[in-house]
Amino acid sequence: MLRERRLHSEGAASALRSLKGRTVNYSLPPGRTPAREDGWHVDSLRRTLARERPGDPEPGGAWDIACRLVRDYQFPEPGILRALYRRDDALLGRNILLEGRFLGLRFDMGVRITSVTDDLRGTDDTAQRVWGWGYQTLQGHLEEGELHYQVIKYPRTGDVEFLITGYSRRAPIRNPVVRAGFILFGRMTQRRFYRASADRLHSLTRAELLGTPPTRPQPSPAGDSLVVVPGGSDAA
């Protein structure tokens, strides 16, 4: 409850507003892609969510539900990460204040959505209907990098899956205790976040397909269309 109240505070709203003046905290040489030999972690995780009828996505079906949950950023495991953003902001360019839990402490970390995907890829047996978005880390974040979340339907089979891809590395951290802790436990926590988030999206999607009320962001008392995620169900 303490973590929830903190993100609902005016202090958190102010921290979110401050992200407008921040820039992405890393750069890549022209034509260079992130590689492990340059210190980057390159990640990919797939999780099957459900199956629909073959063909286009069904209104109110698994792909539709999962896209809404990803759009609203409802899938992170709240024991690892919570977030604050302005729902009225366009998805592309939206700033998000992440509150991460690490070593029993809480850290504010800013990210900005810099890409949105809405594509039909391939043809016939290889066709994929893909929707999702990606963010990049901003100044002050504990990491440097980019992360993409995509919901994919395969029209031939009806399978719906969640795909997390990205690259990251530790940002310069001044505090020696935090730096040492991040070196020891940061990568482990990151991998746990990927697995837990994919499992949570799977559970939320399945629950809605079985009739559970939709999970929605929580409006913040600070107003200004601010919401805290993950939120609760409509019945909560």
The residue to which tokens 């921040």 are assigned: 22
Q: Give tens-digit pLDDT for 131-158.
A: 999 999 999 888 999 999 999 999 999 9
pLDDT in tens, 199-216: 999 999 999 999 999 999
pLDDT at 236: 47
Answer whether residue 182 shows pLDDT above 80.
no
Q: Is the pLDDT of residue 3 over 50?
A: no
Lowest mean pLDDT segment, chosen from 6-10, 88-92, 103-107, 140-144: 103-107
Residues 6+ apart with CB under 8 A from 233: 212, 213, 214, 215, 216
Question: Percentage of the chain with pLDDT > 70?
Answer: 90
Q: What share of the chain has pLDDT > 90, as a percent?
A: 67
Q: Please report the pLDDT score of residue 2 as a whole number.
A: 42
Report the candidate in 173, 178, 138 with the shortest Cα–Cα distance to residue 19: 138
